[in-house]
Structure 1
Amino acid sequence: MENACERSFREVFSSGGTPLFGSFIKTPTSHSVEIIGDLGFDFVVVDAEHAPFDRGAIDMVLLAARAARVAAIVRVPVTAPDYVLAALDDGATGILAPHIASARDAADLVSWCRYSGKRGFSNSPRAGRYGGKGVWQHIDEADKTVTVIAMIEDAEAVERIDEIVGVVGLDGVFVGRGDLGVALGDREPGAPRVKAATDKVIEAARRARKPVCLLAANAAEAAEFRVTGVSAFVISSDQGFMRTAAKSALGEFQVACQRHNQWQEPL
């Protein structure tokens, strides 16, 4: 499979052809990103909304992503121009913006991500190769490659989804099913209201020819969503992988040593 970094991530993501696989990064160090990239994941999502990332930590993990040749999307803590600009200047492949609930929200997000919109210019940070890129080279390349993804995680967003996915320059949407479950108060088994909302978002995105990304609970669920047209999947997180592996290892050791203990003669 072609790694997304071998072409513009935006180009591969927008095509919706090859399924892409990523993971949330919750730990503000370089190591998780390097491991995920080394394993062949297509992208990471630096979770500056729910994990303890300041600008310095984001800068460090974005450097690690470049070293590991993995696309790095930053989920900004707040959908605001200063957070978007900082992440892009530090070299983010794109922006995942929380709580986009209207076409106006989406249009503002696109504008903040594009020099053709309202992105503040500088070619002196990492994104401009510390001045190595000329002014217009940097502007043209950035506007061509920066990936803009809206998180759909509010009831209002679902109601307005056709307007949101219709915004020019918005590259795709991420369905935040966890937040939707809370927003809709969906405590029923199987979360039927969340499922209906998710299906509505996927259908709207398909009509608008916009790709959909979501966090898949497991491989079987990802396969089911792939049939509906979802093309990018977030698989757990660095913390989730560590917890799962640690739990499994602990259980194996406890069982093995308990068996051994049963074989011993009492003192």
Structure 2
Amino acid sequence: MPDQSRPSPARSFRRRLLGRELLLGTFIKTPTSHTVEIFGDLGFDFAVIDAEHAPFDRRSIDIALLAARAAGIAGLVRVAEPSPAQILAALDDGAAGVLIPHVASPEAAAAAVSACRYRSGRRGFSNSPRAGRYGGLAMWPHVDAQDESVAVIAMIEDPDALERLDAIMATEGLDAVFIGRADLTVALAAASPDAPEVRAAVTRIIEAARKADKPVCMMAAHVDEARSLAALGASAFMIGSDQGLMRQAAGRVLEEFGGLRGAR
């Protein structure tokens, strides 16, 4: 029998998120188990499997979530679309939570929450997948464990959402918001994510989240940016992606060793 005395990262992630612990994660863009294992081994708190912008299918999501469990890291899924089927597949495979893209209305937020919850929602029941320990959890213990542990995170990344922030934040069962600065930048036709209009939008979102007592997750390019965002109220940070971090590290190595070419 697995040790139930210590909560797994998947079971404890939502509690830590709601408790405003400083959490560090990254996006996983490569459909393989290895990158998830590496980030878990390094001690990252969570990894978000990016089914929206990377070539993940149901099978590769399942394998990546298995790797997250093996490596002791909370595995979340950014679903390709906010359909109940996509959300259900991720949760049944053992995701600690889901990121729902382009939540621009309270109706969209409520629909996402409903797809994630059993007792107060409309999540389709099965305890036979990984989330139910392949039948090892009986019906109601499985229902209670999932309703208690699954994190529902809305991505605020559209100008339309800015006009409905209070209503979105007031959605019962919505755990946190992720501020999508890149999408906001493009939608607002701003020069960069640091442009005044984007910074103003970020401030509005964080203020609305603070008023509704919702944690905020954001991308951070470097530690100084994370410090400034934490001062504003963010508590969970995405540090690039597996591909982006590999590219940065490989670029540094190429630059460091570039002098060897001229020395030959």
Identify which of 4, 17, 22 aligns with 1:19.
22
> 2: distance between equivalents of 1:11 and 1:165?
18
Q: Kindly provide the CA deviation profile for residues 23-51 of structure 1, in whole angstroms up to 9, marking residues without a partner as x.
A: 00000000000000000000000000000
Counterpart contact for 1:90–1:126, Cα < 8 Å: yes
Counterpart contact for 1:4–1:42, Cα < 8 Å: no
- The residue aligned with 1:10 is 14
- The residue aligned with 2:58 is 55
> 1: distance between equivalents of 2:85 and 2:69?
23
Gaps of at least 5 residues in structure 1 are 262-267
Gaps of at least 5 residues in structure 2 are 1-6
Q: Would you identify which runs of 4 or more consecutive aligned residues in structure 1 move more than 4 Å?
A: none
How many pairs were matched up?
A: 257
TM-score, normalised via structure 1 length: 0.94
Q: How well do the aligned residues superpose, as a CA RMSD in angstroms?
A: 1.4
> 2: distance between equivalents of 1:150 and 1:43?
17
Counterpart contact for 2:10–2:74, Cα < 8 Å: no
> 1: distance between equivalents of 2:182 and 2:222?
15
Larger-Rg structure: 1
> 1: distance between equivalents of 2:178 and 2:30?
21
> 1: distance between equivalents of 2:237 and 2:213?
17
Q: Kindly provide the CA deviation profile for residues 203-234 of structure 1, in whole angstroms up to 9, marking residues without a partner as x.
A: 11011110000111111100000111100000
Query: Which residue type is aligned with residue 71 of structure 2?
Result: A
> 1: distance between equivalents of 2:193 and 2:186?
14
Larger deviation, residues 5-14 vs 120-129: 5-14
> 1: distance between equivalents of 2:10 and 2:147?
18
> 2: distance between equivalents of 1:224 and 1:210?
18
Deviation of 1:70 after TM superposition, in Å, equals: 0.4
Distance verdict in 2 for CA 1:247–1:253, change over 3 Å: same
Where do residues 1-267 of structure 1 align in structure 2 (5 Å cutoff)? 5=9, 8-16=12-20, 18-116=21-119, 117-187=121-191, 190-258=194-262, 260-261=263-264
Counterpart contact for 2:27–2:238, Cα < 8 Å: yes
Query: Which residue type is aligned with residue 20 of structure 1?
Result: L
> 2: distance between equivalents of 1:142 and 1:72?
14
Query: Which residue type is aligned with residue 31 of structure 1?
Result: H
> 2: distance between equivalents of 1:151 and 1:37?
24
